[in-house]
Chains A and B, each alone.
Chain A
Amino acid sequence: MKFNWYKYAAPQPFFHLTGKCIPWLLWLAALLFVVGFYIGFVLAPTDFQQGDAYRIIYLHVPAAWMSMLIYLVMAAWAGLGWAFNTRLSSMMATALAPTGAMFTFLALCTGALWGKPTWGAWWVWDARLTSELILLFLYIGFMALQAAIDEPRRADKAAAVLALVGVINIPVIYFSVQWWNTLHQGASISMTSAPSMVFIMLLGMLIMTLAFWSYAIAAAFIRVRCVILEREKNSEWVKEVKREYIRSKA
């Protein structure tokens, strides 16, 4: 049997598919979050240098990874929408931006809560922190630019240019701890060498990362459904979806 993936490039089938996936993704995110919390906050041993303050790693590192990953995915969708004029690609980019901005905010916020007890300061103008702050501004700029232009297709194109230019900031964030002499510690996990941390710590962090992944996909799906409803409001199938919803609630 041949599965036709291209079918889901159109808003209508994608709207219905995502509606079925969202509850599963949210429950999976909640389950993984509880397991990750139990491993990270209960089972994992105390760090010999940082004490229990290091446990913020189970929230901070996955949030920081998500902030960078979501930006790359958002820029890829925006670029696809710009190059091939595919409506759904641009809608996905629009849907990902606020969730990416939220994870960037969380990375900065949990980083500050880690920085105070370990460095003695909430914030320093370190290369890693500054480049992560620039990422937050890029997300805000992307959303502001889209909101500033009334015609959605023109807004998508303008925002896509900004998103693609901003991709240059991602390797800067990732390699900042190597390129500059920073106060921020080096990478927690390297792609080229074996992990230096204890297995249980690594496991907790990876499970929490999967929880954030699952959550981010669910949030993006809910938001893209809202964007579809707004942009396709005059189409017959959206009117039928609304009628069906009202009937189900009556």
Chain B
Amino acid sequence: MSSWLEMGGYGFYVWGSLVVVVACLLIEVIGLRMRFKSLVGK
């Protein structure tokens, strides 16, 4: 398990990529839903 997390010494780059992608997708979709709710609830 820990060797899998280390990704052969490239863990920072591999997991960093995943974190950046997931964070961007979530921020965009949550932001959009908030914008929609504020517009429709006016």
Majority secondary structure, A binding face:
helix
Could you count the A-B residue pairs with CB atoms below 8 Å apart for me: how many are there?
Answer: 82
Instruction: Identify which of residues 1-42 in chain B touch chain A, using a CB-to-CB cut-off of 8 Å.
Output: 4, 7-10, 13-14, 16-18, 20-21, 24-25, 28-29, 32-33, 35-36, 39-42
Residues of B within 8 A of A26 (CB): 29
Instruction: Give min CB distance, B6 to chain A, whole Å.
Output: 8
- Check if A249 is an interface residue, CB within 8 A of chain B: yes
Centre residue among B18, B29, B32, B33 by max chain A CB count within 10 A: B32
CB-CB under 8 A for A99 and B28, given A46-B8, A114-B13, A225-B36: yes
Cβ B14 vs Cβ A55 within 8 A: yes
Residues of A within 8 A of B24 (CB): 102, 105-106
A242 to B40, CA, bound (A): 5
Cβ A222 vs Cβ B10 within 8 A: no
- Check if A218 is an interface residue, CB within 8 A of chain B: yes
Cβ A117 vs Cβ B20 within 8 A: no
Cβ A52 vs Cβ B7 within 8 A: yes
Residues of B within 8 A of A245 (CB): 40-41
A53 to B14, CA, bound (A): 6
A52 to B14, CA, bound (A): 8
10 interchain residue pairs of minimum CB distance? A52-B7, A53-B10, A52-B8, A222-B32, A229-B39, A110-B17, A51-B8, A113-B13, A245-B40, A56-B17
14 contacts between A and B (CB under 8 A): A37-B18, A41-B18, A52-B8, A53-B7, A55-B7, A59-B21, A102-B24, A106-B21, A109-B20, A110-B21, A113-B16, A223-B32, A229-B40, A230-B39
